[in-house]
Amino acid sequence: MTTSAPKNGPNVGAIVIISIAVAINLVIAKLMATWSYSWFPPQASSAASYVDDLFALETGIGSFIFFGCTGVMGWVLLFNRAGKYDESDGAPIEGNTKLEIIWTIIPLVTVFAIAAYTMNVNMKLQTLGPKHKYAIGSDPTTLVSFDPTAEIGPIDVIARQWSWEFVYPSGVRSSELHLPVDQRVNLRLISQDVLHSFYVPAFRLKQDIIPGSIISYSLTPTKEGRFRLRDAMFSGAYFSQNQTDVIVESEQTYDGWLKATAKQPLQPGLDPGRPLYDRRLSRGDKGWATVPPAPAPMVNDPGDPSLPHDA
């Protein structure tokens, strides 16, 4: 194809085709954004809807860009392929300063807009506190003040290689985290060995737990059910076993559980890495070296890992 002289007046055919393509792309982007809500676990905290809405917005914008760009690629593949013996060159277009400036400014504005919106969303989550360092051997809990807006807590969340332990203000200890629905809870995140991460996918929240530091962390569960808490920061041999459940229940059930559990004697809690470690020892310690799991935490309620979780 040779360069053609610039035509006078707008190219009506091109405008119609581009308008139709953009309209179809907008519809697809909207569908993708709506569909994206189904990719998540149920929304079980006050943060979840903000995160899902933001994700849907980005999925919409991203889909528009993706299908727009790959649509151009598809068009070119369909209509601009050289024949087998065609040795000719394409249109020798070297550049177009106006176009280049436009497509630098459009992503810039898009990025500014998404960033501004995201900062707004992030401030609404109101969940994260900075870490406070403490000397090993001292009591870390004295360093952190209770979140005044929280109604429940502070509950100590103690992470180890490889178990979770939850200590309530009344002294009750458990291997599963019980929380009343719709109340803001303050957690104090403590690690006794390596990095761990407090991650409940249904809450859309995650906070690393850093040895030598304590983190005051607050959140509000909004849906009753049994949700999975996963260690998200790699913590060694039995990392994948380091999971337990968060049980969100009505206030009455929660109070009842707290009272009943206080009467239970201390007993070994959940220690999911232990059976695997024992099996390893019984086979003559094959496999590469690992630190032995910490002893099972002594708790009033060891929980029931066999119950199915909602998300």
Partner 1 sequence: MTSTNYDPRILKAPHPVPGAPDNWKRFFSFNTDAKVIGIQYIATSLFFLLVGGLLAMIVRGELITPPADLVDPTVYNGLYTMHGTVMLFLFLFPILNGFNNLLIPTMIGAPDMAFPKLNAAAFWLVPVFATVLMGSFFAPGGPASSGWWSYPPMSLQNPLGHFINGEFLWILAVALSGISSIMGAINFVTTIIRMRAPGMGFFKMPVYVWTAWAAQTIQLVGLPALTGGAVMLLFDLSFGTSFFRPEGGGDPVLFQHFFWFYSHPAVYVLVLPVFGIFSELFPVYARKPLFGYRFVALASFGITFLSLIVWAHHMFYTGTPNWMRHVFMFTTMLIAVPTGVKVFAWLGTLWRGNLRLNTPMLFCLGGLFNFIFAGITGVMLATVPIDIHVGNTYFVVAHFHYVIFNTIAFGVFAGIYHWFPKFTGRMYYEGLGKVHFGLTFIGATLNWLPLHWAGLLGMPRRVASYDPEFAIWNVIASIGAFMLGVASIPFILNMVSSWARGPQAPPNPWRAIGLEWLLPSPPPAENFEDDIPTVISEPYGYGLGHPLVEDEEFYVRRSQEA
Q: Scanning residues 248 to 277, which ones bind partner 1 (CB under 8 A)? A: 276
Q: Report the half-sphere exposure of 303 (CA within 13 A, side-chain side).
A: 30
Tell me the Cα Rg of the chain.
Answer: 28
- Can you read off the two tokens belonging to residue 113? 């807009």
Binding residue (CB under 8 A) for partner 1 from 6, 14, 123, 284 = 123
Task: Note whether 299 binds partner 1 by CB under 8 A.
Answer: no
Peptide bond connecting 257 to the previous residue in cis, omega within 30 degrees of 0? no
195 contributes a contact to partner 1 by CB under 8 A: yes
Q: Indicate whether 290 belongs to the interface with partner 1 (CB under 8 A).
A: yes
CA-closest candidate to residue 185, choices 242, 248, 233, 258: 248
Strand partners, 160: 163
Find the binding residues for partner 1 in span 212-251 (CB under 8 A).
212-213, 215, 228, 230-241, 243
Residue 6 within binding range of partner 1, rule CB under 8 A: no
What is the per-residue binding string for partner 1 in 75-114, x denoting contact by CB under 8 A? Answer: -xx--xxx---xxxxxxxxxxx--xx--xx--xx--x--x
Closest to 301 in 3D by CA, of 278, 252, 273, 267: 267
Q: Which stretch binds partner 1 (CB under 8 A): 22-30, 66-74, 172-180, 260-268?
A: 66-74
Q: Choose, by CB under 8 A, the member of 26, 28, 128, 294 that binds partner 1.
A: 128
Taking the alpha carbons of 89, 91, 92, 94 in that order, is the dihedral positive or negative?
negative
Residues in contact with 257: Cβ distance below 8 Å, sequence separation at least 6, in sequence order? 178, 249, 301
# residues contacting partner 1 (CB under 8 A): 97
12 binds partner 1 (CB under 8 A): no
Cα-Cα end-to-end distance for the chain: 58
**Residue type at 115 in one-letter notation:** A
Minimum Å gap between C-beta 143 and partner 1 is 13
Q: CB of 224: closest distance to partner 1 in angstroms?
A: 19
Binding-site member from 27, 291, 298, 307 for partner 1 (CB under 8 A): 291
Is the Cα dihedral 294, 298, 229, 271 positive or negative? positive
Q: Which is nearer to partner 1, 137 or 171 (CB)?
A: 137
Query: Cβ 288 to partner 1, closest distance in Å?
Result: 3
Q: Which is nearer to partner 1, 87 or 139 (CB)?
A: 87
125 binds partner 1 (CB under 8 A): yes
Q: How far is the CB of 262 from partner 1 (least distance, A)?
A: 31
Of residues 17 through 56, those in contact with partner 1 by CB under 8 A are: 39-41, 47, 50-51, 54-55
Shorter beta-carbon distance to partner 1: residue 96 or 267? 96
Q: Pairing between strand 225-231 and 152-160?
A: unpaired
Q: Does 193 bind partner 1 (CB under 8 A)?
A: yes
Q: Is 66 in the site for partner 1 (CB under 8 A)?
A: yes
Strand 213-219 to strand 267-268: parallel, antiparallel, or no bridges (unpaired)? unpaired
Q: At what angle do helices 48-79 and 97-125 cross, to 10 degrees?
A: 160
Q: According to the binding rule CB under 8 A, does residue 211 interact with partner 1?
A: yes
Instruction: Name which position in 155, 204, 246, 300 contacts partner 1 (CB under 8 A).
Output: 204
- In our burial notation (b when 16+ CB lie closer than 10 A, e otherwise), range 134-170 reads beeeeebeeebeebeebebbbbbbbbbbbbbbbbbee
Complex with partner 1: residue 70 or 149, whichever CB lies closer: 70
